[in-house]
Structure formats: structure tokens, C-alpha cells
Amino acid sequence: MRKKVTKAIFPVAGLGTRFLPATKSVPKEIMTLVDRPLIQYAIDEARAAGIKEFIFVTSRGKGALEDYFDTAPQLEAELRKKGKEDLLEILKNTNMDSGAIAYIRQHKAMGLGHAVWCARRLIGHEPFAVILPDDVIAAEKPCLQQMVEAYEETGGNIVASMEVSPDKASSYGILDIKEDMGSMVAVRGMVEKPAKGTEPSNLAVIGRYILTPRVLSNLNKMKVGAGGEIQLTDAIAAEIEAERPVYGYRFRGQRFDCGSKAGFLQATVSFALAREDLRDELAAFLHTVTAEQKAAQ
């Protein structure tokens, strides 16, 4: 019987330099889209997929991230006293059960593969998920839940993938497709950030993975790859070389790259417009702004 995916790794050790000066004192992962931190979107997606153990790979200066998941007795007491039950319910979703969350330090910024490798002892011999909080995905059924359901059918390693334009391919890991089965593709190879014009397809890997523990064994042997970092893509590609299955999964949903300022702003607007309490006022404002811009031209 195939083991269930109940553990997830959240690599959150990055300095968030693209968002300075905000990230001088605030971890990027708790910057908010509307009124929820980036990390909350990732946690909610993991919970929906059946994840029970949450492993954060952090670095110095991430104390506020750890505090975010702790209880806030004084705040809860004040809200209870004022009868604000709706806000209490929102707070409850930010709390993590004792023992459900673990923090591992990545002392050197050596890439995504190294961050995942840092959590190897907590993963053991079980399949696991990796979620990159920078990639926020708006979907009717959460992306990782879609992938877990696919994994239960196929096993192996699964990477979330989406189509990108040729001029963007060099920013991603790109799949070399062996067989296209619709929502799933069997993968012949993976190329990390290919030079322009050399990409094997237009299907890019984004920040959701379901991996077998063998990938951790591969990371044990990995040398520095593209960008002077230990690449997770290389460890997954080693599974293909060993003739073990790797699949790309075309998820249903819209992905926002919240590691960039433009992507973060796009996600903020999109999520706000999806909210009944904000939609009308924001839509009217955006209409006014665009009308004024057109008039100025």
C-alpha cells in the first residue's frame, strides 16, 4: 500500500532582498496579501491536502515567522471580551498544534536542494511535499490537493508545472517530455534555467513538489549546479536517470510569483477582487485610475 503524504517542507530561509527595506525587519513570508501573510496561504493549502507535519527551513532573523504560528492569549482574551467571535475564528486558523511544526536552520544559502536536504532527518523514509510560499496559487481545489490525488494514482515524483513563453523559460526548470497524458506528463529530463533557444519544452516547474525519499539520498551526493547552488532539479533528474518515474502535473489554477514586486501586486489585486467585502470599492478605484491614465495619454 502506498504511503500517504503527510509531511511538507517550507523553504523560508531567503533574505527577501527584492522587498527591501520592508524585509529589513519583517520576514518576506509574513508580508500580507490583503490581510493574510504569504505563509498562511501555503499552510492552508497544505492542510487541505492532508499534511499533518510542517517543517520550516529557516535562517537567522525569522523569529517573527515562528511567533506568527504561536497562540496569542492576550489578544484572544481581548477579542473574546469584546465578543468578536469572527476575528477569534480567523486567529484560530493561524495557530499550529504543539508538535505539528518544526524549524530547521539553513546556515548557508546554498539553494533549494540544500534547503530540502536540511530537513532530511525529519522526513525519514516517507514521501513528502515541498511548498515554496513565493508561489501563491489561486485555485478552486488547492494545487497540492490536486497533486496528492494524482500521487495516490501514480506514485513516483510529481512536480507542478505550467506553460511559459519562450522568453521566460530561462528563469525556470523546464521539463523534457517523454509522454503527454493531458494533466500529467511523463518526464524524460529536466533542465534548470536553460539558455535561450535550448529549452526542451514550454512546460516549467513551479513551487510545488511531491517527492520520494530517494530524492534526499540523491541530494546527499549532489555537487554545486546552476547558479553555484545545489539544485533540487538535479536530484529529481537523477531519479529519471535511475529509471524511476517523474511526472509533471498541469495544475488547475492561476499562479502568482510573489517573489517579485509585480507578481505580489498582481496577487494582491486579484485576491482583493475575489473578496465580496472589497470587490466593489476596489474595482471602482481601478476603473478610475485606468480611465485617468488613458485620458493623460
Range of the domain at 239: 7-259
Closest Cα to residue 141, out of 206, 210, 49, 241?
A: 49
How many domains in the chain? 1
pLDDT band, very low/low/confident/very high, at 227 (cuts 50, 70, 90): low
Kindly state the cell numbers that stand for 217: 539520498
Answer whether residue 18 is part of any domain. yes
- Nearest alpha-carbon partner for 235 in 118, 113, 130: 113
Task: Give the pLDDT of residue 248.
Answer: 94
Decide if 264 is inside a domain.
no
Helix (H, G, I), strand (E, B) or coil at 176: strand
Residues 171 and 186 sit within 8 Å (Cβ to Cβ): no
Distance (Å, whole) CA 187 – CA 239: 10
Residue 265 domain-assigned (yes or no): no
Q: What is the pTM of this model?
A: 0.89
**CB-based contacts of 17: which residues, under 8 Å, 6+ apart?**
23
Q: Could you tell me the maximum CA-CA distance found in the chain, to the nearest angstrom?
A: 65
pLDDT for 11 beyond 90: yes
Residue 296 covered by a domain: no
Cell numbers found for residue 24: 529589513
Q: Report which of residues 138 and 109 the model is more confident about.
A: 138
Residue 135, Cβ neighbours under 10 Å: how many?
21
Q: Is 114:11 a contact under the CB 8 Å cutoff?
A: no
> pLDDT for 38-94, tens place per residue?
999 999 999 999 999 999 998 887 778 888 888 888 888 888 888 888 888 888 878
pLDDT tens for residues 177-209?
A: 898 888 999 999 888 788 888 888 889 999 999
Please tell me the distance from the alpha carbon of residue 60 to that of residue 105, in angstroms, as a whole number: 8
The 10s digit of each residue's pLDDT in 143-188 is 999 999 999 999 999 999 999 988 888 888 889 889 888 899 999 9
Residue 179 lies in a domain: yes
Cis omega (within 30 of 0) for bond into 166: no
Parallel, antiparallel, or unpaired: how do β-strands 128-131 and 7-11 relate? parallel
Question: Is 207 part of any domain?
Answer: yes
Long-range contacts of 273-280 (CB under 8 A, 24+ apart): 274/138, 275/34, 278/34
**Residue 228 zone, left/alpha/beta (φ > 0; ψ -120 to 50; rest):** left
The CATH number for 157's domain is 3.90.550.10
All three cell numbers of 51: 499534511
Which residues make beta-bridge pairs with 255? 137
292 is a domain residue: no
Q: What is the structure's pLDDT at 38?
A: 93
Closest to 10 in 3D by CA, of 146, 119, 122, 160: 119
